[in-house]
Amino acid sequence: MNLAYLLLFSLLPFTKSPVGLKEEKPMKETVTASTQGLEWLTLPQALQKNKTKPRKILIDVYTDWCGWCKKMDKQVYRHPEVVRLLNEQYYVVKLNAEQRQPITIEGRTYKYNPTYKAHELALSLLNGQMSYPSTVFLNERQQVMERVPGFIPAKNFLRALAYLAEK
């Protein structure tokens, strides 16, 4: 019993809030063009823009609970050189893989699939290999060029952007 008290009191200085009280969570951060310098679009918006001014499309497939997705937002999508290259050469899309709202593209409606606990559009883009974050690159003809699962450090991301821009 003394050991239990010793462990309890030795760990107290490392807690953020008093024992038994819940800490208030800060308001959820939203991704906006003003905070990140990128014009995030929906996929239908990007496809519409692509009709008049063709560009490659980058799709960031994420979930709200994914820590690596948040790290990607903070470290990669805010990197000045990444922002510059994406704004110049790509349309950028954020797709929440678990969103419940249907998405209609060229007459086909994609919905949330409760069996897979994922949106059908995310399932389609990732070939059912759900990994977060995942970055999907489409060419100007809306064909998948690359699917890259996981966090990509800014330095490697810049190399990938430059390489894919030439394809």
Does 12 fall in a domain?
A: no
pLDDT single digits (tens) 120-142: 999 999 999 999 999 999 999 99
Q: Write phi, then psi, for 143 (nearest 5 degrees).
A: -100, 145
Q: Cis omega before residue 102 (within 30°)?
A: no
Residue 117 lies in a domain: yes
Q: Is residue 109 part of a domain?
A: yes
User: What are 16-39's pLDDT values in tens digits?
Assistant: 434 433 333 333 333 443 335 999
- Looking up residue 124, the CATH number of its domain turns out to be 3.40.30.10
Q: How far apart are CA 137 and CA 133, in angstroms?
A: 13
Q: Is residue 157 part of a domain?
A: yes
Count structural domains, the chain: 1
28 occurs within a structural domain? no
pTM, full prediction: 0.77
Task: Let me know if residue 119 belongs to a domain.
Answer: yes
- Residue 103 counted as domain residue: yes
Q: Would you say residue 2 lies in a domain?
A: no
Q: Which parts of 12-150 fold into alpha helices (H)?
A: 33-36, 43-52, 67-75, 80-89, 120-125
CA dist., res. 7 & res. 3, Å (int)? 6
Give residue 119's domain range: 34-166
